[in-house]
Structure 1
Amino acid sequence: MSLVYWVVGAIIAGAGFAVYAEFATAIPRNGGELNYLQHAYRKPKYLVSIMYGAQALLLGQAAGNAYTAGRYFIRAGGGLSNEWGSRGIGVVVIVSALVIHSAFLKWGLRFLNIVGTFKIAILLLIAFAGFAALGGHTIGPAPHNFANAFEGTRGDIFGVSACIYNAGWSYVGYSNAFYAMGEIRNPRRTIKIAGPLALGTITVIYMLVQIAYFAAVPREEILGSEQIIAALFFKHMFGESSARALSVFVALSATANVFSVIFAQGRLNQALGREGIVPFSKILASNRPFKSPLAGLSWHSMMTLIILLAPPAGDAYNFVLNLSSYPLNIVNAAVGIALVTAYLPVKLRPEWARDWSPPFRASSPVAVFFTLASLFLVITPWIPPKKAADAVYEHMWYGMAPAVTFGIFAGGALYWLCWAKVLPHVGQYALVPTTVEMQDGTIATVFKKESLHS
C-alpha cells in the first residue's frame, strides 16, 4: 500500500507544479507563492502578504532534513542512534549552509550541483540493486514483502493523511525553483522544460527505490526504521561495513537538501523585505556585505535551529516534518483557489484574472484537483487517530503542528491589523508606499507615514 501513496504524492506534486508554473510564467520574479498570493488576493490590502510572510519568516523548512543528515552521519560513523547527537550534527549542517551561501555563493551552488549528482547516483544504485534483491540476491533470507502487499492496511482518514504527508514531503522540492525565478536564465522556457523533466525523472526513481526497499528489507525492520531505511537496505544488500560507508552519501543527500532550502528561503525572506511589509524590512532586503541575502539567510537559519532543537525527545523528526509541510498545504490551497477562479467564465472571474493568459496553462481540472487535494491535507490532520498507538507523537498532542501553524497565521493577521489599521487610525496617518534604491543598489518598497492633517 505504501507504493500507492508514493504514486498519489507524485500526482499531487505534478498538479502542484503545473499550478505554480502557470503563475510563475506570468510573474517570473523571485518570491514564489508570495507573488501569486499578492496578485490574486488584493483586498484587504497587504493582509494575505503579511500572513504568508509570518509563516515564511517563523518556520524553518530545512529542520527535518538537517535532523536526517545527522542520523545518517552517526550511522556512517558506526555510532548508536542518538537524538541529540543527530540534532547537534544538524546544527553544524545548517550553520555551514548559512556561511557558504552568504559569503561563498558560487561555491554553495557548486556544492549543490555536485551533491545533487551524487544523490541521483545513490538513488540509481539503490534502484538497480533492487532488481538484484527481487531476484533473491540479498544477504540473508528474502523478506517476501510482496506476498501480502496489503497486510495491515487501514483506511482511516488520519492514517491516509499521514501517509500522503510522508510520501509527499519527498516531492515538495518542486516549489524551490519558483523562489529564484528572477535568477534563472530565460525562466519561462526553462521552467516549462526542466520542471516536468526533473519531476518525472525523480518520480520514476523514487518508485524504483521504494520497490528496492521492500525487496530487500524485512517488513518488521521497515516499520521500526524511522528515518534510516536506506542504511538497512545497504546492510541487507552489501553488508554492515558497506552500509556505513554508503550512509555517507545519504547524509550528503540530506545535507544538499538543507543547502537548497536555505538558499531558496533566504531569497524568499529577502523578497518579503523588499515589499516593506514585515519588521526590519530594509535589513532583510539588503544584499550587503557579500552581495547575497545575508539577513534573509541568517533569519531562516536561526528559525530552523529553533525548530530543530525545541521539540521534546522522541518527537523531533515528526514534529519538524509536519510543521514544515502543513503550512505549505494551506498556501497551496490558497494558490489553487486563486487559479480556479481564473478558469471561471470571464464575467465571474475576479478583476485580476479578466485578461489572464500566461505562456503556460495548468488546465482547470488540474487546478481543481490540486486545490481539493490541498484542502484535504489541511483538514484531515485535525481528525484524531482511532487508536492512541497510531498518534504521530509520543509526548505531544496530535494536532500540535496545525495548531501552531494557524497560530502563526493568526499572529500575522494581528500584526496586519495593528500595522495597517489600528496604529494609522490612532496616529492619524496614512501608509504611503514609496520605491527607493538602497545603498547596495537594491530596489525596495518603504512605507512612509503621511499625516492626514497636513
Structure 2
Amino acid sequence: MDEEITRKRKGEAPRTADDESTESKETEVVKLRQDVGLISGICIIVGTVIGSGIFISPKSVLLNVGAVGPCLIIWAACGVLSTLGSLCLAELGTMITKSGGEYPYLMEALGPIPAFLFSWTSLIVLKPSSFAIICLSFAEYVSAAFYPGCDPPPAVIKCLAAAAIMTIVLVNSLSVKLASYVQNFFTAAKMIIVIIIIVSGIVLLAQGNTQNFNNSFEGAKVSVGSISLAFYNGLWAYDGWNQLNYITEELKNPYKNLPLAIIIGIPLVTVCYILINIAYFTVMTPTELLQSPAVAVTFGDRVLYPAAWIVPLFVAFSTIGAANGSCFTAGRLVYVAGREGHMLKLLSYVSIKRLTPAPAIIFLGIVAIIYTIPADINTLINYFSFAVWIFYGLTISGLIVMRFTKKDLKRPIKVPIVIPVLVVLVSIYLVLAPIIDSPDWAYLYCTLFIFSGLVFYIPFIHFKVRWAQKITKPITKHLQMLMEVVPSEKVKE
C-alpha cells in the first residue's frame, strides 16, 4: 500500500499484473537445479565406482603382491581407505555446499594456488583421461564380440570409444534428469552382472571349490613399492568415491542426502569387490588369472557356458554407466573452475533451455577424445593415481587446517580428527613409496606438469593480464550465441 501511495505522489501509474509478471521474470535466476535425490546420489556413487576397474584391476593387483591372501587384503584396505576418505569429504561437502568436489575445499582451506593447480591437473589430465580409459574399456568389450579369436583393430576401438564419449556428452548436455535416468538404468544393469558373479562364486564355494585359497600367502612379494602399486590399481577400481561432492549444488537436501549416499554407497561397493575377487579365485588359480586376457570373460566362459555372452554384454553396460557418471560429475568441476575465474568464463555458462553446464561438458568430451588416440591403460592408471592422491592428501589436510582456522563454520557432520590424519598419512605413503622403491622419471614429469599450471596462473589469474580478453571475448560471444548459454546467476531479460 505504501508503495502505491508513493507511485501516485510521483505521478506514476499504479502497478498492474503485467508489471508484477515482468518483475518476477526479471528476478528469475538461471542456475543449476536440485534434481538429484538420495537414490540417484547412491546410484551416481555406485554407478561411477563400479565401472571398468573391477574387470581390469584384479590382474594388476595380483601381479604386484603375488598371492591370493595379500590381494584380498589390498581390496579390503582400498575399500576402508575410500570409506574414510569419503567420510572426510562428507564433512567438507556439508560444510562447504558448493559443486566442484576438491576445488572449493582447497580454495577455502589452502587458497587459490592449490585450488588452481588441482583444477588445472584435473581438467587437462585426470578427468578426461579417466573418462577416455573407461570408454576405451567399453569399446574393447563391445568390439570383441565382432572379432572372435583375435584382437579388434585399434582404429575400431578408438572410433567406438569416441562415439561413446560423444553420446554421453550429448545426454549430459541435454538434461540433468535424463543423465540421472540413464545413470540409474546402467547402475541397475551393472548390478545384475555383479550379482551373477557374486552368487556364482558363493555357490562354487559352497560346493567346495576352495583349493585356490589354501596357502593363500605362499609366494607373496610384499615391498614398499609393490604394495603402493597394488593400491594404485585397487584404488583405480574405487575411483569415484568422491564424485557426489562434485554436484552438491544439485543434490536435494545435501546436509542429509550427501552423507547418507556416501555411507550406503561406498561400503556396498567394498563388499561387492571383495566377493567378486573371491568368485574369480574359485574358478581360476593365480597363474590362470594373470594369463587371462579378460578376467570376467574367462569367469563367464567357465561358469555360465553356454550363456557366457551375458558377461561381456553387462560389462559393457557397467563401463558405459561409469563413463556417464564420470562425465556428469567432472563436467561440474569444469563449470566451477570457470565460475571462479580459473578457466575460461565460457565454461561456467549454463544452457538457457536445458539448465545444464553444456560448455563445460562439451570441453570435457573434446579433451577425452584426444586421450583416446594413445593408450597404455596400466601406465596411465599408475600416473593417474600418483597425481590424484597428491590432491586427495592436500584436500583432507585442508580439513585439518580448517578445524583450527575456521572453527565457526557450521559442520553438520564432524568426523573424529584421527580419520583425516590417517588418510593424509596414507596419501603421503602412496605418493612417496613408488618413487623411493623404484625411481622413475615419469613421476618427475608428472610433478612438473602439475606445477606448470603456475605459468598460466601467475599472469592471467594473479596479475589479471587483460590482453588475452581481447582475443577470447569475441570467441566467447559467438560460442555463447551458438550454444544458447548465459553466465550462471544471470537475470533473464
TM score, norm. by length of structure 1: 0.82
Poorly superposed stretches of 4+, deviation over 4 Å: 420-427
Change (3 A) 1:425 1:67: closer
Report if the CA contact (8 A) 1:101-1:263 is conserved: yes
Structure 2 equivalent of residue 372 of structure 1: 425
Report if the CA contact (8 A) 1:179-1:265 is conserved: yes
Alignment of 1:23-422 (within 5 A): 23-42=92-111, 46-59=112-125, 60=128, 61-77=130-146, 79=148, 80-82=150-152, 84=154, 85-136=156-207, 144-225=211-292, 228-239=294-305, 241-278=306-343, 280-287=344-351, 290-311=354-375, 316-343=376-403, 349-350=404-405, 353-385=406-438, 400=442, 402-421=443-462
> Larger RCO: Structure 1 or Structure 2 (Cα < 8 Å, ≥ 6 residues apart)?
2
Change (3 A) 1:105 1:357: closer
1:220 and 1:288 mapped to 2: Cα distance? 56
1:71 and 1:285 mapped to 2: Cα distance? 35
Report if the CA contact (8 A) 1:75-1:244 is conserved: no
Cα RMSD between the aligned structures? 2.5
CA offsets per residue over residues 299-352 of structure 1, 9 Å max, x none? Answer: 1112222223224xxxx1113323433322111110121122344xxxxx33xx
Q: Which has the larger radius of gyration?
A: 2
Change (3 A) 1:404 1:69: farther
Give structure 2 stretches of 5+ with no counterpart: 1-69, 469-483
Report if the CA contact (8 A) 1:119-1:253 is conserved: yes
Between stretches 80-89 and 334-343, larger displacement belongs to: 80-89
Report if the CA contact (8 A) 1:143-1:216 is conserved: no
Report if the CA contact (8 A) 1:25-1:359 is conserved: yes
2:489 and 2:187 mapped to 1: Cα distance? 33
1:88 and 1:319 mapped to 2: Cα distance? 22
Q: Which amino acid aligns with 1:333?
A: G
Change (3 A) 1:148 1:439: closer
Following superposition, the deviation at residue 404 of structure 1 comes to: 4.4
Report if the CA contact (8 A) 2:86-2:242 is conserved: yes
Q: Which amino acid aligns with 1:376?
A: Y
1:218 and 1:419 mapped to 2: Cα distance? 56
Report if the CA contact (8 A) 1:134-1:216 is conserved: no
Greater fraction helix:
2
Following superposition, the deviation at residue 245 of structure 1 comes to: 3.0
Report if the CA contact (8 A) 1:54-1:408 is conserved: no
